[in-house]
Structure 1
Amino acid sequence: MKFKMAHTNFNVLDLEKSIAFYEKALGLKELRRKEAEDGSFILVFMGDGTTEHQIELTWLRDRKEPYDLSDNEIHLAFVVDDFEAAYQHHKEMGCICYENKKMGIYFIEDPDGYWIEIIPEKR
């Protein structure tokens, strides 16, 4: 038996705002979309064009209050080939929420409060 990672789900309040964030911050593109016939939910799968792993953004029509992310200890991590350029881009976007210069990493925060770790490519 063999398992393979497929996707990570983030529930979002404003789907279009979240799609725009992931496109601008990380260069992800919408790969596919599933909409419930009754309009109760929309799933948008986004990918980086390099790996098979995707982010599934889930929008629920009846959800009005922000999601409780507790201590937000769960996060995604992205490796970037030009760490300094990515850092400047995210700094200009105003989405850097935590830096650990000693470890050489930082985190960005999406519109719903999810943290995403940015890691330099190993050289």
Structure 2
Amino acid sequence: MAFNTENHPGVSPTVPKATHGFVLNHSMLRVKDPAVSLDFYTRVLGMRVLRKLDFAEMKFSLYFLARVTETDEIPEDEGTRTAWTFSQTGILELTHNWGTENDPDFKYHDGNQQPQGFGHICFSVPDLAAAVHWFDENQVSYVKRPEQGKMKNVAFIKDPDGYWIEIVQSSLLNKLGT
């Protein structure tokens, strides 16, 4: 039988039929200045903006980003692309509440200061050393470099709003947690 799940207290032994087809589509981060955040996520992390949605009455915009490849068939038509975006996995939604970029004292809680809550998002990279070199070239802020701390081969960087981003190379993690 193929692997299904690790068993721990609280884990359902079966997948409820009612949940078949459910897909984790996106995670959302609130950003102070979309131009600064879009530069970071598109230039430093190589993501592409799939769709921007403005909600003028409520004064906010949503930017949906993903890592795409040359073989991804992304629809040109905006409505079709919107529906397509909401059917994907691994999407990052950046939410901008209008005007925050003009307030020099404005800052979102990153989830890692007290009281703690949200922790981080994670990017898996093919070569951790090359990624660290790229981040250094781009003066990215680190929470933890791969050689620091007890958990080796795992880096944590910060985005412009201070959110933590874990950076891993999967082939280096086969002994993690053992």
- By relative contact order (CA 8 Å, sep 6+), the higher-ranking structure is 1
| Structure 2 residue aligned with 1:105 | 154
What is the RMSD of the two structures over their aligned residues, measured on CA atoms? Answer: 2.0
Tell me the distance in 2 between the aligned counterparts of 1:62 and 1:24: 24
| Structure 1 residue aligned with 2:41 | 22
Identity of aligned residues (%): 30
Deviations 1:86-118 (A, max 9, x none): 110001112141124252011111000001011
Q: Which structure is larger by alpha-carbon Rg, 1 or 2?
A: 2
> Displacement, 1:71?
2.2
User: Normalized against structure 2, the TM-score is what?
Assistant: 0.63
| Structure 1 residue aligned with 2:74 | none
Stretches of structure 1 lacking an aligned partner (at least 5 in a row) = none
Does the 8 Å contact 1:39/1:61 carry over to 2? no
Deviations 1:60-106 (A, max 9, x none): 01444211224256101111012221110001112141124252011
Which runs of structure 1 show a deviation greater than 4 angstroms over 4 or more consecutive aligned residues? none
Report the count of equivalent residues: 123
Tell me the distance in 2 between the aligned counterparts of 1:11 and 1:53: 17
| Structure 2 residue aligned with 1:67 | 108
| Structure 2 residue aligned with 1:45 | 64
| Structure 1 residue aligned with 2:176 | none
Supply the AA of the counterpart residue of 1:81: P
| Structure 1 residue aligned with 2:8 | none
Which one of the candidate residues 129, 134, 141 is aligned to 1:89? 134
Relative to structure 2, which stretch is displaced further, 77-86 or 59-68?
A: 59-68
